[in-house]
Each structure stands twice: as structure tokens, then as C-alpha cells.
Amino acid sequence: MTLPMLLPLQCPKCQTPFLAEPDEIAWLCSTCGQAAQLDEKQLSGLSPLEIHFDTGIQPSRSSGGSQPGRPFWVAQGKVTVQRETYSGNENRQAQEFWQIPRTFFIPAYTCTLDQLISEGMRYLRQPVSMMQGSPAPFLPVTLSLEDVRPMAEFIIMGIEAERRDMVKSVGVQLNLAPPILWILP
């Protein structure tokens, strides 16, 4: 029988302890600025992570006037859909929408599935321009990389479900680039 090992959550670069919240899976070192995420494949239990901060996030002030940034997994995706309907036909509109690669913004913070789909659909339709800014406080990252693809598929299905025809079935093929963590306002 193999016993579980407890590993300290420490920065892989400088060994500063990470202060972890329940369900949190990624951190930014307050000492050296190295980001890390849980990774069961690594002996240390952590692997380095690339985090980008949008310029729209205001650094916190001692007066506490700013909101923490919201983490999103951001990835380019190419989507192909095959639709079958009972009545009506918005297949052409669907094909036109998905013919260009899309940027997926998957909320990586704790929210309901409905909120995740709604936010993801909004950003998919109206992507924000992201410009590299300075590190700032952000909500805990709780959505793992392994969950990004299924959440992107939920977002695609949410968009297809809003079409005005009576859809019978939707087949989806998603080619998703590796996601990058962005902290957005």
C-alpha cells in the first residue's frame, strides 16, 4: 500500500511558502514573482506557470479601494460544428461564426457553471484586447488546465443552443491551443 505524501506548497524558485485557499491550484510568489501550479507529475507537486496581468487591473492600495483581478485561461481555438435541426436552419450562421479562429476566455476562478458559460460566451463574442501590465492581487485560481477543454465545449454548446432554430444535435470538433493564464479586470 502506497501512503500519500504531503508536500509543502513552496515557490519552486525561492522556497517561499504559498498561502493556499481551499480548492486553489495556482499561486504567485510574493517574494520572487514566480508563478506555480499544482502538478501531480512533478516530484515537488508543483510546476512553473506563466501568468500575464492586464493593464486594466489597478494595483491594490493600502486604503483597499481596488477589486482583485479575475483569472482566465485564454486560448485560441478553431471550431467546426455539424448541426442537425428539427425545424429552421441557422447552419449558415453557425458556419460563418466558427469559420475564423476564436479566443476562448475560460473563467479560472470559482463561479457557477451558468456564470462560467455566460462569461465565456460574452468574451468569445466580444474578446477584450489584453495588454501586459504589472502584477496585482487576483482571485484564487480554482479551475485546472484539465478542465479548460470541457468548459470551452460547454461554451460552444451555449452559443449553439441560443440559435433560433430547433436544433436536434450538434457535433463539435475543437482544436484548442495550450491555454495561458491571464488576470483581467
**Pair 101, 68: CB distance under 8 Å:** no
**Pair 140, 91: CB distance under 8 Å:** no
**Out of 50-59, 67-76, 107-116, 121-130, which region has the weakest mean confidence (pLDDT)?**
50-59
87's CB contacts (< 8 A; 6+ apart) are 165, 166
Average pLDDT over residues 9-29: 90
**Out of 85-89, 148-152, 171-175, which region has the weakest mean confidence (pLDDT)?**
85-89
Residue spans of the domains in the chain: they are: 70-127+139-184
Identify which has the larger pLDDT, 2 or 68: 68
pLDDT-derived band at 47, boundaries 50, 70, 90:
confident
**Pair 74, 103: CB distance under 8 Å:** yes
Distances (CA, A) of 30 to 18, 51, 70: 8, 14, 18
Mean of pLDDT over the chain = 90
pLDDT digits (tens, 9 = 90+) for 90-137: 888 999 999 999 999 999 999 999 999 999 999 999 999 999 999 999
What is the predicted pLDDT for the residue at 99?
95
